[in-house]
Amino acid sequence: MNLTWLFSWRSKKQQNETKDAGPERRPQAPRKPAAKPIQAPPAANAQRPFEVQLNIGRYRMEPFTEGGICIVMKGIPLEQGKPKLAVKMVREQWLNHQAVRRQFTTESQIVRELHHPQLPKYRSRGLIDGKAYYAYEFIEGFQLINLSQEQQRFPPALVKELAKDIVAQLLEQLHYLHTSLKPVVHGDISSENILIDTKQKIYLVDFGCSHFQKQANKEAYQWLAKPSFISPEQARGEKWDHRSDLYQAGILLYELLKNRRWNEGSTKRDKVLFAASNQRQKDDFLLDATDAKTSAFVARMLDPDPNKRFQSAKEALSALKS
């Protein structure tokens, strides 16, 4: 199946939204768009597109998205029309926080180590206007959250059909991360941090919560993870490891199969409480959405006790494929 039609629909939708901006005309927009248009740039020269000489050439920077801590810009080589780089910087208001700056350095070190066909490739890091940036390959895709939550537009049956394949791809990427030369725990897997392209290939991005498993000065950055996707051990402020990534992959599969949120909390506090107090699901809890085997698989991925989950992405992957 080719997903080109999703892209053509999205660009038509964006044109229509610009034309009819009335709130009543937009009831089907995603509940909470993750990537807002940029509002507060980190540097004076990031307010609008600007040109910059990086150590890999001269690029035109265009504002792209803005998260809580960072902004992401598109880097377009001057001689080409297409973005080639995603350039990430810490937002101005967080630059004085030592923990944020340290985590940003770790993030760029982790991205440097990625050598996998479905993980964006590192390109460069340094300073723009005196502020640290790193640049990695720009992925032409859209956030998975748009597939799982624009319910009226994307038939649940189609999303369900793709769900297991999407999570199998994710588990392959996690296997790579967890077992590479310098093993990495992602920590913030969510439908906002996974991009899908027209060929149904998925790409995990956003290493803003990640750490090297053997990092000496390992701190728990669970406060950076999406509250809707937080694992019980992250919510409880306990030590968390690669099995937390498996829990988050379990949430993703649940949401794709059910077409609804796993975490029912409405505020950040409620979501953390929901995650912390989560009970073990019965093996047949998803029978209304899938077959018995897949339901038991998701229940095990979502086990609140990390010791009772699959212990590795590889183990989970072979269970999913069997």
Q: At what angle do helices 156-179 and 242-258 cross, to 10 degrees?
A: 170
CB of 1 to ligand ADP, least distance (A): 22
Among 120, 187, 227, 306, indicate the residue that binds ligand ADP (CB under 6 A). Answer: 120
How many residues contact ligand ADP, by CB under 6 A? 21
Site for ligand ADP in 294-313 (CB under 6 A): none
Q: In this complex, which beta carbon is closest to ligand ADP, that of residue 206 or of residue 245?
A: 206
Residue 65 binding ligand ADP, by CB under 6 A? yes
Stretch that binds ligand ADP, among 8-16, 44-52, 61-69, 308-316 (CB under 6 A): 61-69
Q: In this complex, which beta carbon is closest to Mg ion, that of residue 186 or of residue 300?
A: 186
If you ran DSSP here, which 8-state letter would residue 279 be given?
Answer: P
Residue 108 binding ligand ADP, by CB under 6 A? no
Element (H, E) at 211: strand 211-212
Q: In this complex, which beta carbon is closest to ligand ADP, that of residue 207 or of residue 274?
A: 207
Query: Residue 47: which residues within 8 A CB-CB, separation 6 or more?
Result: 41, 63
Task: Provide the mask over 178-217, with x wherever binding to ligand ADP is found by CB under 6 A and - wherever it is not.
Answer: --------------xx-x---------xx-x---------
Q: In this complex, which beta carbon is closest to Mg ion, that of residue 52 or of residue 220?
A: 220
Rounded Cα distance between 122 and 87, Å, is: 10
Residue 70 binding ligand ADP, by CB under 6 A? yes
Query: Residue 29: which residues within 8 A CB-CB, separation 6 or more?
Result: 17, 150
What number of CA atoms fall less than 13 Å from residue 183's CA on the CB side?
13
Torsion angle defined by CA atoms of residues 172, 250, 183 and 104, in that order, rounded to the nearest 10 degrees: 110
What residue number has its CB nearest to ligand ADP? Answer: 67
Site for Mg ion in 9-68 (CB under 5 A): none
Rounded Cα distance between 218 and 200, Å, is: 35
Residue 143 binding ligand ADP, by CB under 6 A? yes
Rounded Cα distance between 32 and 67, Å, is: 12
Residue 139 binding ligand ADP, by CB under 6 A? yes
Residue 252 binding ligand ADP, by CB under 6 A? no
CB of 189 to Mg ion, least distance (A): 10
Stretch that binds ligand ADP, among 68-76, 149-157, 227-235, 247-255 (CB under 6 A): 68-76
CB of 209 to Mg ion, least distance (A): 9
Q: What angle do CA 311, 317, 319 make, to 5 degrees?
A: 85
Rounded Cα distance between 19 and 8, Å, is: 17
Sign of CA dihedral 261, 94, 174, 157: positive
Residue 109 binding Mg ion, by CB under 5 A? no
What residue number has its CB nearest to Mg ion? Answer: 206
Task: Provide the mask over 168-197, with x wherever binding to Mg ion is found by CB under 5 A and - wherever it is not.
Answer: -------------------------x----
Rounded Cα distance between 72 and 87, Å, is: 5
Q: What is the 3-state secondary structure (H, E, C) of 83-130?
A: CCEEEEEECHHHCCCHHHHHHHHHHHHHHHCCCCCCCCCEEEEEEECC
Residue 206 binding Mg ion, by CB under 5 A? yes
Q: Which residues bind ligand ADP (CB under 6 A)?
A: 34-35, 65, 67, 69-70, 72, 86, 88, 120, 136-139, 143, 192-193, 195, 205-206, 208
Q: Which residues bind Mg ion (CB under 5 A)?
A: 193, 206
